[in-house]
Amino acid sequence: MEITTITCQADLVVRKEELKALKSQQEATISMQFDDLKNSLTIGTIIKESVAHIATDKDTRLNLVKIAANTGTSFIIEKVLGSNNSIQRYLGSLIAAKVSKSVIGKMISRFL
């Protein structure tokens, strides 16, 4: 901030107006920065930024796809083979789960 020499009433009035304008400008800047901060702290924005980060991170996407694929195949195997009814079905569901996990893992790694 520069020091202004005030020698008369007119200089004082001019400097007072300059300072009022500077104050208004600084208040507007602070208000905009506060609004930006407030908007960035909303739950929706935080979730949106997190999802955007996940979408750009290849390892995270791969892990999410694997989890979804494994969960889906486990559910389907459980419903189709009914692993709780007999030992044969239980062993069949275990084998099917192992085979499907390796096949799905290979397919996912090719696409991503």
The whole-number average pLDDT for the span 82-102 is 67
Domain parsing of the chain, residue ranges: 58-111
Q: Which residue has the tokens 């969960």?
A: 71
Note the pLDDT tens digit of each residue in 23-72. 999 999 999 999 988 887 788 777 888 777 777 777 777 777 777 777 77
Query: Considering only CA atoms, which of 74, 68, 107 is closest in space to residue 93?
Result: 74
Q: Which residue has the tokens 């007119």?
A: 10
Which residues are within 8 A (CB) of 100 and not within 5 positions of it... i.e. 6 or more apart? 73, 77
Supply the mean pLDDT for the chain.
Answer: 78
Does residue 112 surpass a pLDDT of 60? no
